[in-house]
Chain A
């Protein structure tokens, strides 16, 4: 999805007009992009599905260890992160409505809030990780006395690590495909697909955290 802005200039399309795509009209292109994004979101959910399944099995085998280890996690940080992501998900949804109304300023404002929330989320995450690293519960600085939690923590780092990576990608998508073109008010009621796809991806990131938070922090 190289930036459509470039394509627009090349085909000297009006500021709010959809880009010229040689083998589809704009309505089909919109439908195709939406379907393509939803399929991509399905593959992302399946990536995490494997880890949820592994989590279920490891929990089945090491129930006590999972309980104790989950108490070591910082519940307040997790809950705060959940709220942060929910709010960012809300602002991303509002940004789409703004885009549909052709309000490029609104897109910048609300996507901006979402990206800011993403940053807060990552900061809280790094605070949590460094906290654990001091206790030696971090993959690289593994030390023996927390070694019996290795199953839980192994999965914890795989899940939250991959989720954090997706947060970063989501923020990048919102900036590159949302905020930057909007500053050149590229979007209008007739064309806002990248904004909607960026929001969809961000909602997925929030969706996954909605499942991660209770499984890791509350139930363990």
Chain B
């Protein structure tokens, strides 16, 4: 890396993006991508906690058959409200912005050697849109919505709860996601440092690029579908409501046309993060860089043609089910390639087990389970049995929580020194990791077995034969929550009270973002960096 940040400016303390302007208004009006990262980080964590609490209520209620905590969950309706809240808060308000809005915002300009994203003002406007959407969503939960995060047609268009406002909130959040995606696309296209050709881009940038395409191009579809639901509820347009001649399955088609690509918005950045972490801690170049890039783009592309595997038993034609099942298997191959490449990167490496590496290695295991259980659901005959059972619940928690959220936590640990200029406490972080890993598996392995026994999802009450597995799962859920509390507590505490100053490049990484100071100055790089060689330049060149 030729570029090297010049000595810091004069003045007793090093000027960086955190302390060159202070005061709450300097944060709320800042168009600096690094500050907007923190704005998003703080707001999505609020909803992560709220969604997590809803999850704990659900798991406590399900601990035993029949009403377990009647004071909180009075009846079926209250339970439905809690799982809707869990779904909407976790998906629309936490995991979809998740890595792209926080780490993406912080890292993309730094990794490609730019001073900021292409449209800084638009970036801040996206955050305000997010806040407005979040407030609408929060307010909508006062006359609580109980349709589940899928808003399926005849129920969502006829129920009396606050669906219109919640759906509008989802539309606004979708719009914020579109603008973020658009911003990143233009940034990656236009603002790459000189010499940073497409094949020298770090894998995280490729993953963010694929994610940004999906964000920009898939989100409008659900945005319009949600507007049509509002039109249906307010003006009585007959598009989805069967009593007016509409087709509820059409709503499912349009909904899943977005909602399958959205799972790739969630998980692709996590692939990028793992692809960045493993080479650094194995001191080895990423194995098969070209294949990893191609599989990222392939996943994004194929993600648009497979949506109806969510609807095998929704009453679609047999021909359609067969077609979509075959196409869905196309997604399995690129994902498998990625996992092979990560593991091969560790071959003959010099591996150190810092916290990010622990998370990255656990990610490989978690995503193997997530990927293989996805195969069951892509198979027609087996999906007819498994659709809408707890097997599906466990599968998507492995992909979203095991994938995207573990990816976010890994990324936070990996780049926290750069973001805050302070080192987190390694022992506490690794202890919390163990807690998180055990708790997570303890929660969702029993749910796979529940799914095998045919227990349907979204059930407030269930036959007693399922009780022991549910109790184990609830215990796991509490461990999981504790793991998150300790992990995020450790990071939050470091940001506020951390004493240990972080060196410029604590992990001796070859990434461009590590060449500037930590935390970086407002302008990211003192001199415009010029990129001269490939991204993962570890290891000695023995052979030719």
Contacts and interface: CB of A to CB of B under 8 A. Distances in A.
A, B from the same assembly: yes
Interface of A: 1-2, 22-24, 28, 31-32, 35-36, 39-40, 42-44, 46-51, 53-54, 57-58, 61-62, 139-140, 142, 150-151, 154-155, 157-158, 162
Contacts of A162: 227
A44 B224 CA distance: 10
B235 A157 contact: yes
A58 B245 CA distance: 8
Given A35-B190, A43-B178, A54-B228, A139 B245 contact: no
Contact of B115 (A23, A44, A154): A23
A186 to B, nearest CB: 18
Interface of B: 114-116, 118-122, 178, 182-183, 185-186, 189-191, 216-217, 219-221, 223-225, 227-228, 231, 235-239, 244-247, 250, 254, 523
Contact of A36 (B118, B254, B523): B118
B250 A42 contact: no
Contacts of A53: 254
B118 A32 contact: yes
B182 A36 contact: yes
Contacts of B221: 46, 49-50
Nearest to A62: B245
B220 A47 contact: yes
B237 A39 contact: no
The residue among B185, B227, B245, B247 with the most chain A CB atoms within 10 A of its own CB is B245
Please classify the interface of chain B as helix (H, G, I), strand (E, B), loop, or mixed, using the class held by over half of its residues: helix
Given A23-B115, A51-B224, A154 B191 contact: no
B191 A23 contact: yes
B182 A39 contact: yes
Contacts of A51: 224, 228
A54 B239 contact: yes
Contacts of A155: 237, 239
B182 A154 contact: no
7 contacts: A22-B115, A42-B217, A43-B178, A50-B225, A53-B254, A154-B238, A157-B235
Given A24-B190, A35-B186, A39-B185, A154 B220 contact: no
Contact of A61 (B120, B217, B228, B245): B245
B190 A151 contact: no
A8 to B, nearest CB: 15
Pairs of residues from A and B, 7 with the lowest C-beta to C-beta distance, nearest first = A154-B237, A23-B115, A50-B224, A139-B235, A46-B220, A32-B190, A43-B220
Given A47-B224, A150-B237, A35 B189 contact: yes
A112 B279 CA distance: 58
A2 B185 contact: no
A49 B250 CA distance: 14
A151 B119 CA distance: 41
Contacts of B239: 54, 58, 151, 154-155, 158
A57 B251 CA distance: 11
B244 A39 contact: no
Nearest to B244: A150
A213 to B, nearest CB: 20
Nearest to A30: B190
Contacts of A22: 115-116
Contact of A150 (B183, B236, B254): B236
Contacts of B191: 23-24, 28, 32
A53 B247 CA distance: 12
B487 to A, nearest CB: 34
Contacts of A157: 235, 237
B236 A47 contact: no
A74 to B, nearest CB: 21
Nearest to B250: A57
A178 B251 CA distance: 40
Contacts of A36: 118-119, 122, 182-183, 186
Nearest to A55: B239
A150 B247 CA distance: 14
A47 B220 CA distance: 5
Contacts of B235: 139-140, 154, 157
Given A35-B189, A54-B228, A139-B235, A151 B220 contact: no
Given A50-B225, A154-B235, 6 more contacts: A1-B121, A36-B122, A39-B216, A58-B239, A139-B236, A151-B239
A47 to B, nearest CB: 5
Nearest to A51: B224
B247 A61 contact: yes
Contacts of B115: 22-23
A28 B192 CA distance: 11
A23 B231 CA distance: 43
A2 B122 CA distance: 10
A116 to B, nearest CB: 30
Given A150-B236, A150-B245, A158 B228 contact: yes
A98 B325 CA distance: 54
Contacts of A1: 121-122
A42 to B, nearest CB: 6
A71 to B, nearest CB: 19
